[in-house]
Structure formats: C-alpha cells, structure tokens
Amino acid sequence: MLQIRLVIEQTMVESVRHICGISGGKDSSALAVHLRDRVPEMEYFFCDTGAELPETYEYLTRLEVILAKPIARLNASRGFDHWFEVFRGTLPSPQMRWCTKNMKIKPIEEWIGDEPAVSYVAIRADESNRKGYVSTKPNISARFPFVEDGIDHDGVMRILNDAGIGLPAYYEWRTRSGCYFCFYQRKAEWIGLSERHPELFERAVAIEQKVLQDAGVNGDADFGDRAMRGRQYTWSGGETLVQLRDRRDEILERHEAAVARTAKTRANVPLIEALSEAFDEDDDTEPCTVCAL
C-alpha cells in the first residue's frame, strides 16, 4: 500500500507544470538561466504581440541556445489592430491596459489551461515594493526564486554575464522591454526609437494620428488649443509624437544632464543604472508588470 501511495504522489508531482515567462528584459532572462539546472522540467514562454523590438527577438534566439530549450511563443489569437478596433480606436494607457489583458494575460492563461502549474516570477530580492504578474486562477501558484535566494540587481547581472549572454542590445537606449509603441516609454526612449528604428516610430505616429483624426483633432496646433491632453489620444502624455520629436534636442539635453548627475553623485555606477535613474527623472511611472520584468 505504501509503494502504491508513493507512485500516486510521484505522478501528482510530475503532473504539475513549471513555467517561466520571459519578457525579453534582463530580470526574467536571468531567472530563466538561474532555473535552467534547478528545474529541468521548466517550460519557458514569451508572449509575442507582433510589435516587439528586433533586438528582443534576437536576444530570445540567443537565450534559447543558453537554455538548450525552445521558448514557446504565445501569440494572441488576434493582434493589436483587432483590439484597437474593439476598443474603438482608444489607445492603451496605464488606466486602460487592454493590450496587457488581451495580448499577454489571456494567451498565458489559455496556454496553461486548467492544469496545476507553478509560475516563477522574476521579482528581485531588492524589489520589496514591486509586484509581478500573479494569476488569479486557482490552478496557478507563484514562486519568487530571486527573493528566496537573495538575488538582487548585481546578482542578476552576474548571472547574465557568467552565462555569456549579457544584456539585450536595446539597453543601450532604453531600460524597459515591451512593444515598440509602449505607452510606458519615457520621452528620451521615444527619441531613441525614432533614431534606432525610424520605421517603427513612424508606425506609432500613424496609429496616434488616426486616433487624433477620429477625435476631430486637426493637426498638432488644434491638439494644443483644445487641451485634449492625455494618453487617451497620444502615446506620450501631454504631446503628440510629432511634437515630441520636434523637441529632440531639448529632451536629449535634459536626459544627458540627468545621466551626468547620476554618474557624479554615484561613483562607478553601471551605465544601465545611470540610464534608468535618468529616465525616471522624466517619468518614474512603474512599467507593466507583465511586460517589463
């Protein structure tokens, strides 16, 4: 009887799925590497909205080599254009994150189904106030290995460097992963997009201009005159992307000054931390907890 019970218990343990979501950012990528040999049955996944940066796709390919496992690409059954129409041309925003719900959370939960699953979340030990996505489905439980193992920002960087993968290339000009038109981007990051990927920036402009036209706004001047400011109409609060691009020199001057202040007050601070603090001077809004870990 004891042997039968042990077999049943072992079967129950094996039926539990172990999953680790990868956003394309440093923390979730480091967690995937950290768990590679600790949880051999781990399933890795990435929610692909179809609007990711080329650097993200390139990094995922490199990460698959390190993990020696494929990263499942979860595609929303319908893309951004469909949901954009469903929400009647309203841009996603921090107050209405329909992109996260319909293009990230739903595909994850559909992929998991009703099977028992443990989701490993990339919250670091030095991020006590930060929250990651934790499903409300009763069959999905969450674990926080970095918190359990005391791994902080420096520990994450060591994991990536020791694995030989380093950081995604986009960290040279932005510090948050996510869609190229993500509304959580700071002003200097939008400028970075316009210079690194001008074709993607123009796509974001085209979407924004459609929203403004549908709202009866004729041009940037009318946008200002009617005081229709806010992310219901624009990707970046308070101005259109065209206006933002026209302020390129002003935005970059302010950003570079912020980076210099950080470097002066904190000796030997890594570039990524200096960039992050400088961006936070522009906008310290917490990024999407699903996209940016």
Give the mean model confidence (pLDDT) for residues 122-126. 93
Whether residue 194 sits in one domain with residue 146: no
Q: Quick one: pLDDT at residue 172?
A: 87
Domain count of the fold of the chain: 2
Whether residue 143 sits in one domain with residue 8: yes
Decide if pLDDT at 235 tops 60. yes
Q: Which domain holds residue 58?
A: 2-172
Assess if residue 261 is contained within a domain.
yes
The answer to whether the pTM exceeds 0.75 is yes
Decide if pLDDT at 11 tops 70. no
Q: 137, 172, 207 — which closes off a domain?
A: 172
Tokens of 131: 């929250």
pLDDT tens column, 57-72 = 999 999 999 999 999 9
CB atoms < 10 A from the CB of 266, how many? Answer: 12
Q: Quick one: pLDDT at residue 2?
A: 41
Compute the chain's Rg from CA coordinates: 21
Q: 172, 198, 223 — which closes off a domain?
A: 172
Decide if pLDDT at 228 tops 90. no
Decide if pLDDT at 201 tops 90. yes
Q: Name the E strands within 203-284.
A: none
Give the mean model confidence (pLDDT) for residues 251-260. 88
Question: Residue 43: helix, strand or coil by DSSP?
Answer: strand
CATH number at residue 118: 3.40.50.620
- DSSP assignment letter at 171: G
Q: Quick one: pLDDT at residue 177?
A: 76
Q: Using alpha carbons, select from 21, 66, 69 the residue that is nearest to residue 45.
A: 21
Q: What angle do CA 45, 48, 50 make, to 5 degrees?
A: 165
Q: Higher pLDDT residue, 200 or 12? A: 200
Assess if residue 180 is contained within a domain.
no
Decide if pLDDT at 8 tops 60. no
Q: Quick one: pLDDT at residue 5?
A: 42
Identify whether the C-beta of residue 286 lies closer than 8 Å to the C-beta of residue 130.
yes
Assess if residue 99 is contained within a domain.
yes
pLDDT tier at 76, thresholds 50, 70, 90: confident
- What is the percent of the chain with per-residue pLDDT over 90, rounded to a whole number? 51
Tokens of 121: 């979340």
Identify whether the C-beta of residue 234 lies closer than 8 Å to the C-beta of residue 241.
yes
Rounded to whole angstroms, the Cα distance separating 43 from 41 reads 7
Q: Quick one: pLDDT at residue 221?
A: 54
Rounded to whole angstroms, the Cα distance separating 87 from 91 reads 8
**By CB neighbour count within 10 A (0-12 exposed, 13-18 middle, 19+ buried), where does 20 fall?**
buried
Q: 172, 201, 225 — which closes off a domain?
A: 172
**By CB neighbour count within 10 A (0-12 exposed, 13-18 middle, 19+ buried), where does 44 fall?**
buried
pLDDT tier at 291, thresholds 50, 70, 90: low
Q: Using alpha carbons, select from 69, 29, 44 the residue that is nearest to residue 169.
A: 29
